[in-house]
Structure 1
């Protein structure tokens, strides 16, 4: 039995995938109790243990002579146990072909059942938002985490297999890369401004009379130094007088600086002055190279949207291909999407089955369809003509009016994909220059 890397335990995923043929082997497992129950009048207990390596649990049987069963059966209890794998008795109605008979309890992290916040019932994502540190123990979030991990790994695999170089672009940029201004600004001026305003409250700024008084002191100290030099006083006397003059000048500079302090952000020529900012100019979280390269990481966009299609933070893969045209780009995009679908089907079948049953019925079927179907490629003009014809013939009514030089709405995209092209994935290209981002290449005919 192969043990987990950097640990003496065996992953539950490996045990369940091995099944009945592993019976008789001694293993150590670690995980969290999803459900537990005492049986035989408290003589033994059955625990459903999950370690996050797969959606399924491993049934673990513990005898009361090994540990206080009341401290093991609570949901959320963390356990490490040694035992022997065995085939469950027939007629128990178990879906699994293997279970663990515990021989020794190594470690236990107990929970208080009255305070543990995750009940055994199905939990909504909204409920879990208040329990971020525990949500990965739920079936939904753990499945999402494994799927996301698989897709991230597959993304790197795809581009590495096709000769792309992985690069790291800045998270913070002083350029508005998309020209829309919809970016999160990064600045240290606000903290500076808050400190200044609080300082002005605690220590009111000096008045003009205070400044003039300091200037008069500097003048007097300067005249005193001049008189001593004219009288050829001793070196010690002149040095002491110069020191007093230096102190007076420093006090004057400090008073003048404080007199110029104003509440609010610093401004110059009517605009915010970023010269004292950490970056020396406006800086943002980026929204976004000769060789084939790609970057893959977090992206930020300050759009005022409440849909799942416009997140404030999301991860994005951005490939750049040298000496290529739009058809090469579409070929790469199609190959990448199919690669992702096939990867999930091959490597995440159990998690996708969970999603299919509990979250999005038919998602696995759609993955297979996308992986096996050639993408339909439609020009923007063709797409608009199809939509206009459908509206004119009364086949469909859209909330968003169909007109030239508009960006396609979700309902338009769904009609094209689901109705016009019979559930096939499509790529719409050759958008009008009026709605292209500035960095997009214009068609040869403009």
Structure 2
């Protein structure tokens, strides 16, 4: 029986014989009575086992270290006046697997930095059990949301010929050492995808509402707490949607997944709140129930200028002007200090945004949107797409993008193109936001970052 089943059915199992297997979290010997705390990973809660001299294999059990796996058979006894609702009075024990003395997870608290060095073991801690269960809940909640809105789930290529962002930070996929890509496996240069958006746009023109949810890769030599070389993205695309409708969809999605996790992952959230952020649950509840602020980029620049005037040490980058590509410090100021809530930032200067974003009537800005949230900064980035073929070609030329490399994408505009909008939601940043974790390495099972490929 799993611990999850014991906890769910303990009232019906009261004073009955039960059996289960778990990993030792603590093993404390007393004069007449000894105590085990076991967890099997099925839930975050532990089970306390009481064992005595008459318990079968008592001597062996009393010597077992943290991390060992043991089988217990005994009576489930209710304990209504204690924190745990019951305990198991063991009659029979068996040692399934002993644990070596050098086991790195001991009762003392380990630092996050240390735990990052043993990603194969850190899910055994209560904190990381909670983080990765929340990650799983969020993944399901996202699929549930789009399924209920009749979106089509599209799997876009992991190996691609284009760099959707135009940033030149893609990993090259090759079978050769000489750089002769014309003789390579695909007959041309190939990359690991940085985004499924361009492919999703093509499918939105056929299926109206689609989304991707898959791995993406950036060969960016960055060691910040928000960047990883391999991460997951959710990228919906909806034909006929305007920027306003895109914003509404983002807000609806975020609030939906927050509601789902608050309802179905309360104990995991409480564990994260105890470890990462003592205001986590109230912050998430507030975001779920509030109306997100919508702010024009130009207004944001004025707010940031005023902040510099009032406190010259507010930012490292103090040269605030129209055209500035806002940094994390500016984004966090807007949503944490100035508004105290999530903020949609819209209508960015075209120079700091991607070629595919729709040019506004002012010819200076594009119909872009970023969602900024407390603790993270940018969580979502999206736009209405440029539907005019000539304008798209002109913009791509300005940025030095070769027509031949993306002719299939550009030509969608020539073959009957609905207007279209979409966004990219960084899944790991969402997990960080919902758990309170401050480093992306703590929400990915086996992080891929510069000089880190140990597992």
**Would the TM-score normalized by the shorter structure come out above 0.5?**
yes
1:234-257 CA-to-partner distances (Å, cap 9, x unmatched) read xxxxxxxxxxxxxxxxxxxxxxxx
1:277 to 177, 184, 203: 184
For the pair shown, the structure with the greater C-alpha radius of gyration is 1
1:272-306 CA-to-partner distances (Å, cap 9, x unmatched) read 32133222221111010222111112111111221
Q: CA deviation at 1:89?
A: 8.3
1:408 to 321, 326, 345: 326
Q: Is the 8 A contact 1:19 1:96 kept in 2?
A: no
Counting strand residues as a fraction of each chain, which structure ranks higher? 2
1:398-422 CA-to-partner distances (Å, cap 9, x unmatched) read 221211111111221222222322x
Q: Is the 8 A contact 1:71 1:110 kept in 2?
A: no
Q: Is the 8 A contact 1:188 1:278 kept in 2?
A: yes
Cα distance in 2 between the residues matched to 1:370 and 1:96: 32
CA pair 33-394 structure 1, distance change in 2 beyond 3 A: closer
Q: TM-score of the superposition, structure 2-length normalised?
A: 0.72
Q: Which runs of 5+ in 2 are unaligned?
A: 196-202, 364-455
2:83 to 73, 95, 105: 95
2:76 to 65, 71, 85: 85
Q: CA deviation at 1:394?
A: 4.7
What is the count of residue pairs matched by the alignment? Answer: 350
The 5 A counterparts of 1:417-428 are 417-421=335-339, 423-428=340-345
Q: Cα RMSD between the aligned structures?
A: 2.1
Structure 2 counterpart SS, 1:39: coil
Q: CA deviation at 1:50?
A: 0.5
1:67 to 57, 60, 77: 57
Cα distance in 2 between the residues matched to 1:329 and 1:25: 56
Q: Does 1:183 align with 2:170?
A: yes
1:57 to 35, 38, 46: 46
Question: Which residue is 1:150 aligned to?
Answer: 137
Structure 2 counterpart SS, 1:424: coil
Cα distance in 1 between the residues matched to 2:166 and 2:80: 67
2:23 to 32, 57, 60: 32
Q: CA deviation at 1:430?
A: 0.9
Cα distance in 2 between the residues matched to 1:46 and 1:436: 60
Q: TM-score of the superposition, structure 1-length normalised?
A: 0.73
1:58-82 CA-to-partner distances (Å, cap 9, x unmatched) read 0012344411443464211112333
Q: Is the 8 A contact 2:56 2:93 kept in 1?
A: yes
Cα distance in 1 between the residues matched to 2:155 and 2:362: 35
Q: Is the 8 A contact 2:218 2:228 kept in 1?
A: yes
Cα distance in 2 between the residues matched to 1:278 and 1:187: 7
Q: Is the 8 A contact 1:20 1:97 kept in 2?
A: no
1:187-223 CA-to-partner distances (Å, cap 9, x unmatched) read 1113xxxxxxxxxxxxxxxxxxxxxxxxxxxxxxxxx
Query: Could you say which structure has the greater relative contact order, defined with CA pairs below 8 angstroms and 6 or more residues apart?
Result: 2
Question: Which residue is 1:293 aligned to?
Answer: 210
